[in-house]
Amino acid sequence: MSGNASALSGNPSSGAKGVLLDAVDVSKSVQGPEGQLDILTAVSLQVREGESFAIVGASGSGKTTLLGLLAGLDTPSSGHIALDGNALERIDEEARADLRRRLVGFVFQSFHLLPALTAEENVMLPLELEGRDDARARAREALEAVELSARRRHYPAQLSGGEQQRVAIARAFVHSPRLLFADEPTGNLDQRTGQHVSDLLFSLNHDHRTTLILVTHDPKLAARCARQITLDSGRVVLAPRAPAVAP
């Protein structure tokens, strides 16, 4: 398969071929009540199209902040991030929003469904934002894929946590993004439900070659990803490595 071939060949640090996300020396500091707080320091990583990549680390180590930067939701204090070859620091917020809509899907720990909309309406939302007229049909297909067709008229409050997260996953992939970010997607779920939700995420990665960037503090979940880095106080303590590349 071409997916395996590209994952096993080449030097990850040279050339942009197949690199979907490239972060170089990314730092983020904020002004707190006690002066400057360095949340992230010189984080570099590269993720190739079709890969699964885990960001692990203790609570407060900077994982969510990093995800927000990589997705172009927030801007770094210094450093460089390119998403599909687009340097995020060189484009304005409108262009970043456009890039996110086309390229990116999100799954959050706390689901983030809109309570006043049904499951189906929640899933339709990204397509409606794109002005597509097949939103309802596509949303039904996506809900079918997460085995929730029977719940499509339910409101989030009428769904279990696992069901809400499956709706959120359907919403995240309904517009076929090339890159899916998931921030502790199983953090609020029991083990069995969490397993079902992570199986869904990895099946998107395997079956559709959707690049998956997963934040978790569950080592077992991280181990299902092809690569992982660990953050400790905003620094990478385990450098990302591509398989079959000599040190």
Ligand X SMILES: Nc1ncnc2c1ncn2[C@@H]1O[C@H](COP(=O)(O)OP(=O)(O)O)[C@@H](O)[C@H]1O
Residues that bind ligand X (CB under 6 A): 30, 32, 37, 39, 57, 59-65
The nearer residue to ligand X, 50 or 72, going by C-beta atoms, is 72
Report, in Å, the least distance between residue 60 CB and Mg ion.
8
Taking 3-state DSSP, the helix, strand and coil percentages for the chain, each rounded to the nearest 5, stand at 40, 25, 35
Choose between 50 and 234: whose C-beta lies nearer to Mg ion: 234
Distance (Å, whole) CA 182 – CA 229: 15
Indicate the residue among 6 and 75 with the shorter CB distance to ligand X. 75
- In a 13 Å sphere around the CA of 118, the CA atoms on its Cβ side amount to 13
Q: Which does 191 bind (CB under 5 to 8 A by kind): Mg ion, ligand X, none?
A: none
In the complex with ligand X, the residue whose CB is nearer, 93 or 133, is 93
Residue nearest to Mg ion (CB): 64
CB atoms within 10 A of CB 138: 18
CB of 13 to ligand X, least distance (A): 26
In contact, 126 and 145? CB cutoff 8 Å: no
Question: 217 with 58: CB under 8 angstroms?
Answer: yes
**Nearby residues of 164 by Cβ (< 8 Å), 6 or more positions away:** 111, 113, 156
Quick one: which segment of 48-56, 60-68, 142-150, 216-224 binds Mg ion (CB under 5 A)? 60-68
Q: Rank residues 60 and 243 by Cβ distance to Mg ion and give the closer one.
A: 60
What is the smallest separation between the CB atom of 215 and ligand X, expressed in angstroms? 7
- Least Å distance, CB 200 to ligand X, is 22
For 50, the enclosing helix (H) or strand (E) is: none
- Would you count residue 186 as binding Mg ion (CB under 5 A)? no
Runs of H (alpha helix) within the chain: 2-8, 63-70, 93-103, 119-129, 135-145, 161-173, 191-208, 219-223
Sheet holding 235-238, edge to edge: 104-107, 179-183, 211-215, 52-57, 227-232, 235-238
How far apart are alpha carbons 71 and 99 in whole angstroms?
A: 9
The site partner of 57 among Mg ion, ligand X, none (C-beta below 5 to 8 Å per kind) is: ligand X
Closest CB to ligand X among 60 and 243? 60
**Least distance CB 158 / Mg ion (angstroms):** 27
Q: How far is the CB of 13 from Mg ion (least distance, A)?
A: 28
Q: Does 64 bind Mg ion (CB under 5 A)?
A: yes
Judged by CB under 5 A, how many residues of this single chain contact Mg ion?
A: 2
Binding residues for Mg ion, rule: CB under 5 A, are: 63-64
